[in-house]
Structures are given as structure tokens and as C-alpha cells.
């Protein structure tokens, strides 16, 4: 599972972005309740996500990030605007929800290979892949435990492993590392980047950690409080893998830039 | 409290109960036809087994109530799942199910006897009809209570309907189904016995009516004790399914707080 570090130039990334996008979010709005007195969770969201691109969304609590994720996963429909997939039909997505959503009656291993079990009887290959992912997120000693026997952070890691299990067209991660300590979090972020470098799936990460967004994303979307709008898009042109860059001046400059944009949505 | 301590307290309570019973019968000179003293009941109980009289009746009643229980589980779980997960079926059939529940089913016994005869079939059906509702109602609640987040997870994963049922809805409803089954096993015994009272030619309910006619009150008590013991054993067996089928569920944990 672990990729050998390979340096990818930012020029190659730009080339990737130039390809037709995987999907386009066009003036999407989502209002909960009635049109007049409802809560406007999202307003005029425009974004195009390239095939193989890693994008991150940062924004204050309650700004509509999870709402956008549900729209992308086709669990909810926008009240205005549209999400169109370039291929013409919605692709397969895989989600690590904000809550872990593990099956309480299944072991960690069975939970990780649930994406396979949902469709067919899992085979030996599925088991091996689930075992690999379990050790990737540091749960190799807990594959037989049930979720109730895990810590909060361990449950979250199991949930991320499950999201990584299929090879989806679009991977959606909603605050996947929120319950982890700083060091574990940095390690898992680095591991996620390595998997991504190897498999190059399209991914969207929602996070409250700006550093994490800078570590993983090609582009960071900054959102404003309700009604949720995208106020800034910051391209991250650092070389990958970025683990060695964490804490460098270049890296910190980007983090600070995004923090300023979050604090003051109107300027940039 | 230590287990041994708890057993000691329980044993003392049971012995105390029999002592009070004995004391009451002797001291107030209660007629043997109203309440025989405990030792007479035990003798009668012993005789029921010693003469072998009871075995045939015990077998028949067990057959009836287990048959009724099995049907109640099959139909109750199926109906509960269908109505719980399908809005259309729910709308159409809910009134019928409620009507069935609010009707005093004991009043239907003569009708069942008319339809299905005096044999085992009518007893099994009465037992099943009585035991159906708790299984249905609990399964229905279980099917309705499946976590929405987990349903979404299966939606995103494009799970087929059958896989979603087998891997999510059924396991998630099991704690409810088992609760329904615990209630149903007791009702299925009641159903069988009452049907035997009304139109039996064998079974423990029938035996009780015979003992009453012969004014053998001690034996009547003995039959009741046998029925209670059957209830205990069956209830315990169904209850212990919990530990086997849903060890992950909170209800399988000892209560410590
Ligand atoms: N099902 C719903 N019904 C009504 N309002 C909703 C619903 N889901 C979300 N909202 C509202 O939409 C807004 C955005 O919610 P959302 O969950 O998308 O926030 P978020 O950006 O993910 O926040 P957080 O970072 O805290 O997870 C909130 O004001 C919330 O109250
Ligand atoms: Mg959220």
C-alpha cells in the first residue's frame, strides 16, 4: 500500500487541472425549509473538480460543508443549480462521514470491507485489502474488535479505511481526522497523500485544519459563514509528497494566507 | 452482591413462601377444596409424573405452543419487515393489523374451532394469533428504527435491496425482534392452554379442566405448576438467544450503572 516517495512537479498538476473536470458544480444552492423562512445552507456554489484532483474545503462550523458533501454524494438534491458529471452519469462515490457510521454488530475488519459486502459475498482478496487498510490506519491489532470496543479516534480511522476500500470515482472525506491527536493526524495525513499519489483518485476533503488542507489539496476552497459561499480558491503548488515540507516557511505562508482569508471573507 | 449471596436470599424467599402458605392453610383451617397445603400439591405433582399420566398432555401442549410460536415468529417478522419498510403496504394493511390486535382474540376461539376442528390445528392457530402481535409490533418498530446514517451509507455504496436487508435492516432490527419473541413465547402458551380449556381432548389445559371436574384440587395446582415451569424454561431459552444472536447490543451487557 505504501508508495515510494515520488516527486511530482507542480507543472504536471497544472496539466491535470487542464483536463475536462470530473464534475461541475454550477450555481448550487440548498435551502432547508420553505423558500422564504428556511435556512440557506448553500448559496451560488461554483466549482469544477478535475479528474484525479484533490480539493479541500475549509470554512466555519455550520457553513454548509457537509451539506455540499451530501449533494456531491447524491444523498440530497440542490434547491437551485445543478451538479453535472462530465461522463453524463453520476459516478460511484465513497464517503467517510463526519460521524463514523460503523456497523455496531460487525468487527473492524468486516466494517472496512463493507463496501464489498454491500454488493456481493466478500472474497479472500477483499479480506486482504481490508487487512492492509487496517494496518495502514494503525488498527491491525483490532481487526476483530467491535466499534464499541474502540476509542473515538480509532473508530474514525476505521471509517476512513472503509472509505478508502473501494476505488471510487470520487472520495469524499468529511473531517475524517477530527478526533485524532496531532501526531497521529499528521501521520495519517501523510499516508493518505501517499495512497493518493499511488492511486490518483479524485478526492474532496472537508477539514477544520488548514495545515491538513495545505498538506493534501491541489486547491483549497474557502467558505464563508451562512449562507455558505465559496469566497476564495487557493491553489497549493507545493511539491509532493509534502510531509517533509510541513512547518517550512513556504508551507506556513500558505496556511497563514488561508487563515487570513477565513477570518476576513470579503478581502483577499 | 455476590452470586452466592443472591441465591441464598432467593432460596430463603421461596422457602418462606411455602411456609406462609402452609401456616395460612393450617391456622385458618382453609378447605382442601379451596387451597390444599403445599405438601399435598407436591405429592400430586409427583404422582402426575410417576403414573406417567402427564407426559402425553405435556407433549401435546408443547407441540401446540411451539407450533403457534413458530408461526407467530415467521408471520410476525415478515409482516413487520414488509410494513415497516414499505410505505404503501403500511398504509394498506395497518388498519387490518390494528383491528386484529384490538379484537379480543379469545372470543375468536370458537370460530377457529369451527374452521379448523377440534384437533391440534385449531390450538396452534389460536396460539399463533395470540403470539403474532408482539412479534409484529416489535419487528415493525425495529425496521422503522434503522439508523438513517447507516441507510445513507448503504445508499452511497449502491447496495442491492437484498444485501441491504441482510446486512443492515435485519441485524439492526434483531434486538427488537427478540424482545417481541420473548413476549410471544408467553402468549403462545396462554393461547394453547385457553384453546384446550374450550375444546381440548388432551393437553395440560384439558387436564386442568378434568382435575377440576374431579375436584382433585391438589392435582389442579400441580398442573398449574407444570405450566409455570414450561413458561419459565421456554422464556429462558428465548431470552438466552440474546447472548447468542446480539452479543454486540447494549442489552447483552450486564447493568452496572
Ligand atoms: N437536514 C437539515 N435540515 C435543516 N437544516 C439543516 C439540515 N442539514 C443542515 N442544516 C443546516 O444547514 C447549515 C449547514 O449545515 P452543515 O452540516 O452543512 O454544516 P457544516 O459546514 O458541515 O458544519 P460543521 O463544520 O460544524 O460540520 C446549518 O445551519 C444547519 O443547521
Ligand atoms: Mg459538517
Q: From first to last of its 257 residues, what are the pLDDT tens digits of chain B?
A: 678 888 999 999 999 999 999 999 999 988 888 899 999 999 999 999 999 889 999 999 999 999 999 999 999 999 999 999 999 999 999 898 888 888 888 888 888 889 998 889 999 999 999 999 999 999 999 999 999 999 999 999 999 999 999 999 999 999 999 999 999 999 999 999 999 998 888 999 999 999 999 989 999 999 999 999 999 999 999 999 988 998 888 877 777 77
Q: What is the pLDDT of residue A19?
A: 67
Tell the residue number behind the cell numbers 438466552, with chain if given: B240
Instruction: Enumerate residues with CB within 5 Å of ligand 2 (an ion).
Output: A 66, 98
B44-252 carries CATH number 1.10.3720.10? yes
Q: How far apart are CA B98 and CA B10, in angstroms?
A: 41
Residue A36's Cβ-side half-sphere holds a number of Cα atoms within 13 Å equal to: 0
Nearest to A137 by CA among A81, A85, A195: A195
Q: How far apart are CA B220 and CA B67, in angstroms?
A: 25
Partner-chain contact B163 A105, CB within 8 Å: no
- Cα(A29) to centroid of ligand 1, in Å? 13
Domain definitions of chain B by residue range? 44-252
Domain definitions of chain A by residue range? 13-20+33-92+168-268, 101-167
pLDDT 10s digits, A162-218: 999 998 999 999 998 888 888 888 888 998 998 899 889 999 999 999 999 999 999
User: How many Cβ contacts (< 8 angstroms) between chains A and B?
Assistant: 54
Nearest to B170 by CA among A106, A130, A94, A119: A106
Cell of A124: 479472500
Ligand nearest to the CA of A41: 1
Instruction: Give chain A's length.
Output: 268
Partner-chain contact A119 B159, CB within 8 Å: yes
Q: Tell whether ligand 1 has an atom less than 6 A from the beta carbon of residue A65.
A: yes
Cell of A245: 515540507
**pTM for the whole thing?**
0.87
Q: B184 with B131: CB under 8 angstroms?
A: yes
- Chain A residues within an 8 Å CB radius of B252: none
What single DSSP character describes residue B34? T
- Cα(A66) to centroid of ligand 1, in Å? 7
- Cα(B193) to centroid of ligand 2, in Å? 57
Task: Name every residue whose Cβ is closer than 8 Å to that of residue A25 and which is 6 or more positions away in sequence.
Answer: A45, A46, A47, A48, A49, A68, A71, A72, A81, A83
For an interface test with B, the pick among A75, A103, A126 (most B C-beta atoms closer than 10 Å) comes out as A103
pLDDT 10s digits, A18-70: 568 999 999 999 999 887 788 899 999 999 999 999 999 999 999 999 999 99
Q: A62 with A225: CB under 8 angstroms?
A: yes
Q: Which CATH class is domain A13-20+33-92+168-268?
A: alpha beta
Ligand 1 mutation target, pool A62, A70, A212, A222, most atoms within 8 A of CB:
A62
Partner-chain contact A118 B163, CB within 8 Å: yes
Which atom from ligand 1 is nearest to the alpha carbon of A33? Answer: 4
A101, A120, A166: residue with CB nearest B153: A101
Q: How far apart are CA B53 and CA B199, in angstroms?
A: 20
Partner-chain contact A105 B246, CB within 8 Å: yes
Q: How far is CA B36 from CA A186, A189, B47, B53, B218, in A?
A: 79, 79, 15, 21, 6
A112–chain B nearest CA distance, Å: 13
- Chain A residues within an 8 Å CB radius of B153: 95, 97, 101, 114
The DSSP line for A128-141 is: HHHHHHHHHTT-GG
Give phi and psi for A42, each to the nearest 5. Answer: -135, 145
Say what the ipTM of the complex is: 0.87
Ligand 1 mutation target, pool A28, A29, A45, A64, most atoms within 8 A of CB:
A64
Q: Tell whether ligand 1 has an atom less than 6 A from the beta carbon of residue A64.
A: yes
A251–chain B nearest CA distance, Å: 35
Tell the residue number behind the cell numbers 471510487, with chain if given: A168
Amino acid at each position: 500500500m505504501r508508495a515510494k516517495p515520488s516527486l511530482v512537479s507542480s507543472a504536471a498538476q497544472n496539466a491535470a487541472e487542464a483536463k475536462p473536470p470530473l464534475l461541475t458544480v454550477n450555481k448550487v444552492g440548498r435551502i432547508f425549509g420553505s423558500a422564504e423562512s428556511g435556512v440557506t445552507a448553500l448559496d451560488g456554489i461554483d466549482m469544477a473538480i478535475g479528474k484525479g484532483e484533490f480539493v479541500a474545503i475549509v470554512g466555519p462550523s455550520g457553513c454548509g460543508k457537509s451539506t455540499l458533501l451530501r449533494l456531491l454524494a447524491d444523498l440530497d438534491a440542490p434547491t437551485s443549480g445543478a451538479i453535472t458529471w462530465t461522463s453524463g452519469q453520476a459516478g460511484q462515490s465513497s464517503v467517510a462521514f463526519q460521524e463514523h457510521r460503523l456497523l455496531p454488530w460487525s468487527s473492524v475488519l468486516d466494517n472496512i470491507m463493507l463496501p464489498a459486502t454491500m454488493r456481493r459475498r466478500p472474497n479472500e482478496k477483499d479480506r486482504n485489502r481490508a487487512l492492509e487498510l487496517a494496518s495502514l490506519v494503525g488498527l491491525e491489532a483490532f481487526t476483530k474488535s467491535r466499534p464499541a470496543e474502540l476509542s473515538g479516534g480509532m473508530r474514525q480511522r476505521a471509517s476512513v479505511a472503509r472509505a478508502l476500500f473501494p476505488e471510487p470515482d470520487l472520495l469524499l472525506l468529511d473531517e475524517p481526522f477530527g478526533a485524532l491527536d496531532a501526531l497521529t493526524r499528521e501521520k495519517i495525513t501523510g499516508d493518505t497523500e501517499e495512497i493518493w499519489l499511488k492511486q490518483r483518485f479524485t478526492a474532496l476533503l472537508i477539514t477544520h485544519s488548514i495545515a491538513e488542507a495545505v498538506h493534501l489539496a491541489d486547491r483549497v476552497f474557502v467558505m464563508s459563514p451562512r449562507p455558505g459561499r465559496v469566497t476564495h480558491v487557493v491553489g497549493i503548488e507545493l511539491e509532493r509528497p509534502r510531509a517533509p515540507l510541513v512547518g517550512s516557511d513556504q508551507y506556513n505562508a500558505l496556511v497563514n494566507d488561508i487563515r487570513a482569508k477565513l477570518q476576513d471573507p470579503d478581502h483577499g | 452482591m455476590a452470586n452466592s449471596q443472591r441465591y441464598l436470599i432467593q432460596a430463603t424467599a421461596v422457602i418462606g413462601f411455602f411456609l406462609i402458605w402452609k401456616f395460612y392453610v393450617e391456622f385458618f383451617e382453609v378447605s382442601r377444596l379451596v387451597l390444599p397445603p403445599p405438601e399435598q400439591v407436591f405429592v400430586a405433582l409427583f404422582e402426575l409424573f410417576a403414573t406417567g399420566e402427564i407426559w402425553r398432555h405435556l407433549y401435546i401442549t408443547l407441540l401446540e405452543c411451539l407450533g403457534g410460536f413458530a408461526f407467530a415468529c415467521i408471520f410476525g417478522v415478515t409482516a413487520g419487515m414488509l410494513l415497516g419498510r414499505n410505505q404503501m403496504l403500511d398504509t394498506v394493511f395497518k388498519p387490518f393489523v390494528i383491528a386484529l390486535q384490538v379484537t379480543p382474540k379469545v372470543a375468536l376461539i370458537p370460530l377457529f374451532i369451527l374452521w379448523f376442528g377440534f384437533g391440534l390445528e385449531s390450538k396452534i392457530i389460536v396460539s399463533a394469533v395470540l403470539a403474532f402481535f408482539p412479534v409484529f409490533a416489535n419487528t415493525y418498530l425495529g425496521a422503522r428504527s434503522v439508523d438513517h446514517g447507516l441507510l445513507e451509507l448503504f445508499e452511497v455504496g449502491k447496495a442491492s435491496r437484498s444485501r441491504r436487508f441482510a446486512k443492515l435492516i435485519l441485524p439492526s432490527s434483531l434486538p427488537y425482534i427478540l424482545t417481541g419473541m420473548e413476549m410471544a413465547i408467553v402468549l403462545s402458551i396462554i393461547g394453547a392452554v385457553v384453546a384446550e380449556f374450550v375444546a381440548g381432548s388432551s393437553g395440560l389445559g384439558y387436564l386442568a379442566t378434568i382435575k377440576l371436574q374431579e375436584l382433585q384440587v391438589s392435582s389442579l395446582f400441580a398442573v398449574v405448576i407444570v405450566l409455570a415451569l414450561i413458561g419459565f424454561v421456554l422464556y429462558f431459552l428465548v431470552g438466552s438467544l440474546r447472548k447468542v444472536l446480539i452479543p454486540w447490543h447494549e442489552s447483552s451487557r450486564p447493568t452496572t450503572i
